[in-house]
Amino acid sequence: MTDSDSIKPATQMQYLPGVGPSRALSMEKLGIQTAQQLLFFFPRDYEFPAPPLPIEQIQDGEACSLIGQVSDVELISRTPGKSIVNAIVVNETGAVKLLFFNQPFRADQLILDQRVLVSGVPKMNGLKVEFTHPKVVLINDDEELPKPEILPIYSLTDGIKQAELRRIARLVVNALSDSLKEVLPLPLREKAAAILNERETGIGDMLAPIETAIRNLHFPSDQQALFQARTRLIFQECLVLQLALAIRQRRLSVELKSPVLESSAMIDARIKNRFPFSLTNDQERVIREIRDDLSRPFPMNRLLQGDVGSGKTVVAIYAMMLAVANQRQAVLMAPTEVLARQHYNMLRKMLKDSRVNLGLLCGSLATAERRRVLDATKSGEIEILIGTQALLHAGVKFKCLGVAVVDEQHKFGVAQRELLRSGGEDPHYLVMSATPIPRSVAMTLFGDVELSTLRETPPGRGKVHTYLSHQGWKDRWWIFARQKLDEGRQVYVVAPMIKANRSESSKEGETTDDREDTSSVETVFEDLCNGPLSDYRVGLLHGRMNQDRKQRVMEDFNEGKIQVLVSTTVIEVGIDVSNATVMTILGAQQFGLAQLHQLRGRVSRGVHEGHVCIFTDGEDAPEENERLKIFSETSDGFDLAEADFQMRGPGDFFGKSQSGLPPLRIADLQRDFEIMKAARVLAKQCIRDGSLIESDAWNELRGQVMRRYGKRLDLGDLA
């Protein structure tokens, strides 16, 4: 066993005084093997001292403390196992009773007139206040009052108690905190403070040195010290993350090559002439951002976010045409085949009388046709290729890819990038998303990506009304739908499932399970055809249908041959039929906010007002569902994304695997947004001026960045 003087950072837990092998094993389960690891095992919460109260304000069951004098002590029996000590403590505000069972020594400790600090959880017995087994601290007359202590609360596991972990932590903190290596050198903390002060966060001077921070994080001297300690460590965690992201961004720009895609006034005019409308200001701005990126010899890495119908595709087409104007190829990947075909058809129309060569590659192509498309892509004959992401698995090779666009997908993985490289060059990447990313998340999970946002909607769009409805109102809703159909509009009916079916796995994100199938599309389809919508042409669409049938149904709906489309969420993304203005969502409790918002986007495409009606399965009124309520009250996709983030956190929103980053330990994306922003500014500065790489004083920080993110973000070798 080690005595406390010889505790080193690397000392194993079992050699610490009073730990031993079995407790050490329990601590290992908590991820603590060495003294150093214990220093960085942060409390999950704190126990704050109970406030001293006048006796008349003491509440039953609420922890409190008081100072008074012992006015009476009584030992009821000394028999072991049966002793009771009663004491009365008084002060100018009243009297309380203390009770101790089986602690006969209390009778000797609590002598008459002794001053004491009593703390515990009181019980009201009639009008009398009683404490059973309170904590009692004796106060000598000439002594200062003992300072109440804030205690750490650690996460525990079997075999170790809170009090034990506290004792060991105190031992280690006392032995080691003064010799901790500083990760944030003073000049860096000063710079950080300046940035934080500029932003008027009021926490600029809170970046304590590491030894103070660690000490106060475990055993804070007071609330303020605790706050400072947390702030310092939160900042450190944010900075390490932002440095990693900045290094990665820098590295991509230095090491990867991409074709320079020049633009000129003439090219610009030629491309824009192809659009049957003039661009919105937002589209113009984003196109400028993209043009700048494309003119550089390293890959663009840009996420274009904008609500459904904000005109992202048009922007993507601009970027692809710019590639073609520079004798490069472009590829657009859509999330579903239906969408890929829709993009393909739109582009074909737009490029009707031009020499641009288009290709379509998706799963349902016949082998010969697929072969032809792959060959023509490889030879460079096809200049713009449209497909689903499946084309990445089809062994696609480009002659000289200039721009790669992915619609509705959050990130390009490393493996995908590898496939799209041609002739030693990377294409420029543009990712489009209609799921707006909360600002706080954009700065971290997507911190190495540039962000462009379309907030303005193209002119001439009708308003959309959203209603939460009860089962009982379905008949009325169908009357309304018939009215709209008679006016010439079209109607969507969306349900979450195809049909109750046990064995087959679901396709294209549709759910299939053996719940009651009130909300399966097939049942709904039959009911509508035989009931309220029997006079209209109703079509059915779901992911299990073969591609040809799906395609035909979509075309028929497009051309108005089908008036009512009953569908699963295959229609969720991008389908564009501006005459469809009525959206019915059944089983809505099964959809996420982002999905619901996408669906609503389907009926906000034309000049007519849109109507969305939401029904839930079961008895509960839809207003009782927080998510649905927010949805009906909020039409802006960005506000919805923030709300979703508040409710569920970033993990669910994007899928944790999307980010690929380890979770933050002490910082919180939302709460610590300002700190994260400041850390980002500082990280960019440090990478730009090279200070992180050059100075020895930064070794510790560099080490942390590499240990935590080096592999995951492929940061290479900083040295």
* Nearest distance from C-beta of residue 458 to ligand ADP, angstroms: 3
Binders in 208-267 for ligand ADP, by CB under 6 A = none
The phi, psi pair for 383, rounded to 5°, reads -95, -35
**How many Cα neighbours within 13 Å face the side chain of 348?**
11
* Nearest distance from C-beta of residue 602 to Mg ion, angstroms: 11
Query: What distance in Å separates the CA atoms of residue 10 and residue 12, rounded to the nearest whole number?
Result: 6
Q: If binding is defined by CB under 6 A, does position 576 make contact with ligand ADP?
A: yes
Q: If binding is defined by CB under 6 A, does position 279 make contact with ligand ADP?
A: yes
Residue of 310, 452, 519, 563 that binds ligand ADP (CB under 6 A): 310
Residue of 66, 96, 160, 308 that binds ligand ADP (CB under 6 A): 308
* Nearest distance from C-beta of residue 315 to ligand ADP, angstroms: 7
Identify which range of 147-155, 177-185, 263-271, 276-284 contacts ligand ADP by CB under 6 A.
276-284
In sequence order, what are the residues at sequence separation of 6 or more whose Cβ sits closer than 8 angstroms to the Cβ of residue 114? 69, 70, 138
The number of beta carbons lying within 10 Å of the beta carbon of residue 344 is 21
94 sits in which H/E element: strand 94-101
Binding-site residue total for ligand ADP (CB under 6 A)?
15
Q: Parallel, antiparallel, or unpaired: how do β-strands 94-101 and 115-120 relate? A: unpaired
Q: If binding is defined by CB under 6 A, does position 312 make contact with ligand ADP?
A: yes
Identify which range of 61-69, 197-205, 206-214, 302-310 contacts ligand ADP by CB under 6 A.
302-310
The number of beta carbons lying within 10 Å of the beta carbon of residue 432 is 23
Q: If binding is defined by CB under 5 A, does position 436 make contact with Mg ion?
A: no
Identify which range of 67-75, 106-114, 272-280, 393-401 contacts ligand ADP by CB under 6 A.
272-280
- Comparing every residue's Cβ against Mg ion, the nearest one is 574
- Asked if residue 294 lies in contact with residue 319, where contact means CB atoms within 8 angstroms, the answer is yes
* Nearest distance from C-beta of residue 515 to ligand ADP, angstroms: 32
Q: Which amino acid is at 619?
A: E
Q: If binding is defined by CB under 6 A, does position 277 make contact with ligand ADP?
A: yes
Sign of CA dihedral 270, 272, 275, 276: negative
438 contact, one of ligand ADP, Mg ion, none, CB 5-8 Å limit per kind: none
Q: If binding is defined by CB under 5 A, does position 574 make contact with Mg ion?
A: yes
Q: If binding is defined by CB under 5 A, does position 311 make contact with Mg ion?
A: no
Q: Which two tokens stand for residue 296?
A: 């550089």
279 contact, one of ligand ADP, Mg ion, none, CB 5-8 Å limit per kind: ligand ADP
Query: What distance in Å separates the CA atoms of residue 175 and residue 296, rounded to the nearest whole number?
Result: 54
**How many Cα neighbours within 13 Å face the side chain of 368?**
0
Q: If binding is defined by CB under 6 A, does position 314 make contact with ligand ADP?
A: yes
Cα 66 to Cα 70, 109, 118, 246: the distances in Å are: 12, 18, 5, 54
175 contact, one of Mg ion, ligand ADP, none, CB 5-8 Å limit per kind: none
Nearest CA to 280 among 453, 464, 462?
453
Binding-site residue total for Mg ion (CB under 5 A)?
2
Binders in 443-472 for ligand ADP, by CB under 6 A = 458
Q: If binding is defined by CB under 5 A, does position 309 make contact with Mg ion?
A: no
- Asked if residue 635 lies in contact with residue 623, where contact means CB atoms within 8 angstroms, the answer is no
- Asked if residue 509 lies in contact with residue 545, where contact means CB atoms within 8 angstroms, the answer is no
* Nearest distance from C-beta of residue 689 to ligand ADP, angstroms: 38
Binding mask 641-680 for Mg ion (x = CB under 5 A): ----------------------------------------
